[in-house]
Chain A
Amino acid sequence: MKTASALNTYLKETGGWVAAQLEACTRCGICAEACHFYQALGNPEYAPVWKLEPLRRAYEQRFTLAGKIKLALGMEKRLTDSDLEHWSQIVYEACTVCDKCAFVCPMGIEIGPLIHKVRTGLAAAGLVPGDLAEATDKQKTIGSPLGVTDEMWRERIDWITDEWESNIPVDKAGAETLVVFTSIELMKFPDNLAFVAKILNQAGENWTVSSKGREVVNFGFFEADEELTKLFMHRVFQAAEELGVKRLVISECGHAYEAFRWTAPNVMKVPEGLEIIHITGLIHQYWKTGRIKIKEGAFDGETITFHDSCKIQRLGGLIKQPREILQVLAPTSFKEMTPNKEQSMCCGGGGGVISIKEADSNRYKVFEMKLEQLQDIQAQAVCMVCSNCRLQFVDSLAHFNSAVKVHSLAELVARALI
């Protein structure tokens, strides 16, 4: 039964785009060495191409002669429930859909988006790991994966407004820009809301947050459940439409940016003329156009580095923007980790992995590699633009007793405003 739902999803998802790429794979195995989970844990089943097995088998057995022959000769079996349970562990607990594999594949196969499709089938079969499914359910019913209710959200915004003496307009009629934060920022890094507010106010932005579209994180997208992905984005788009804003600002969340910026127009109706932009791009715009001014060398001294988030840098293209700002903030002490930019290594917490308790040991093991990269350049601080990465850094650095400090870009910019 489970298998039937998954298979139906795979067959529905398999168009020329999927098939052509599955056909291009030569089984060379190079993608394994791009995968931080394989590198850190050495399990051959973590090779990105192996994560595509359910999709490949569904496609070949249904659409290709070779697949049918293999099936008839008994060389390959049909997918079973236990196969899918097995792959559920592999694709949810040992993959952050960081898509580095796609940038290494000699054939250029988009392995990340294909793994997303494998997840879609597993979600349809109800085989999402418990913790992730639970958080998704909270987002569906309460409106936030962390269980933040409407009242809690309100109280929290009021508290932040008091605590940091910031001005955060709520449901402001006539605002031009809607900023949607993550629950992670709201609950774990509340100062980030204050910092972002400070920057926007300094820039003279006519902005607001919305009590209806108050969650930018998309756990439906982590699960790769299509309906939930759309539902969670729909809430935000609806709020944007009601407020009549021209611009939607995605706060510090990589997966949310991927969903809103690059996925939404292909799967649902996006309010006409709505510009979708990441907070990093917006801050950079303000600085470039002189709407905000930052103190040169404000953070010079301790070695600071930048962590590239998969969905915002490698896949979002916001690579030079944060660097240009950091080079102003710390012209002599800014240092790059290797690898970086498109080739950077994922922190290990993305793609929903951090919300799954069973994946904790995987996650820490992967982070050891990140820690090495930090130690190689003797970084004392690291800056990033994704609160999911930040959660992973804060948690894992504490786990390994490291003293490296973690900052968001908004925080650094806000503190250096003049």
Chain B
Amino acid sequence: MDWTEILRFSRGPLFHFSLVIFIAGMIYRLVRIIFLGWEKDRVKSQGSKLSGVIISYLKGLIILPFIPWVRRTFKNNALTFIAGGLFHLSLFLVLIFGEAHILVWQSLFGVSWAPLPNPIVDWLAAVGIISLIILLINRLTHPVLRLLTKLPVWINWTLVFLPFVTGYIMYHHLWFPYEVIFSLHLIFVCLLLIWIPFSRMSHFLFYFFSRTIHGARAGKRAVTP
């Protein structure tokens, strides 16, 4: 089997198989949580749950990661906040507005949109890679993070880092023949997709549970989440 064939396989059957695992796995996780049962809250509210939830998301999505000095804890966690925030920004922008990625979205959903200029995406990808490296060093050295980090977390990091770095190498046509690096990029992406439902990478879904719960609770008690 040569690389052209590997490429055909990884962008075709492998990619679609991974997508199915990813989607089915996440649906399973979601259903599982929902059917674990939820108690009804019978406590009388002192404030508005809805406004609590709205503020909770504003802080969670916009203010907290990128304007983190609203939090006093920021200064003791500057690395996690800045590198973590920049990593997520880079991830979403590259994934959604990278020219090559838009082609993938188009093949999946049939719609496309204007890409960000390539040099910007390129810089964003570099920011993502550097952030990941900083986060890794932080995780290796911070006593609390060392206590919390077990094998699955290292796998998380590796499986996020590899698609990033292979994508970057591919864009710059470095070292590898195009088919090889493109195949590797796709294979790592597929591994990541398969891994997500089994790991804490699925936090992107449960984020919406926890932030809603927190906002509603704070709102109910008339405090700022």
Contacts and interface: CB of A to CB of B under 8 A. Distances in A.
Interface residues of A, number: 58
A339 interface: yes
A75 B206 contact: no
Interface in A10-39: 14-17, 19-21, 23-30, 32-34, 38-39
A47 B37 contact: no
Given A23-B202, A103-B225, A262-B221, A32 B207 contact: no
Given A17-B39, A20-B33, A104-B71, A25 B221 contact: no
Given A15-B36, A63-B32, A104-B71, A315 B209 contact: no
Q: Name the prevailing secondary structure of the B interface residues.
A: helix
Contacts of B210: 20-21, 24, 105, 107-110
B84 A28 contact: yes
Interface in A254-268: 261-263, 265-266
Contact of B144 (A29, A339, A341): A29
A403 interface: no
A65 interface: yes
A52 to B, nearest CB: 11
A130 interface: no
B53 to A, nearest CB: 10
A110 B144 contact: no
Interface in B56-96: 56, 60, 64-65, 71-73, 76-77, 80-81, 84
B4 interface: no
Interface in B152-189: 152-153
12 contacts: A17-B39, A20-B209, A20-B213, A21-B206, A29-B142, A30-B80, A44-B146, A105-B210, A107-B210, A110-B210, A266-B41, A342-B223
Interface of A: 14-17, 19-21, 23-30, 32-34, 38-39, 42, 44-45, 47, 49-50, 63, 65-66, 69-70, 75-76, 102-110, 261-263, 265-266, 313-317, 319, 338-339, 341-343
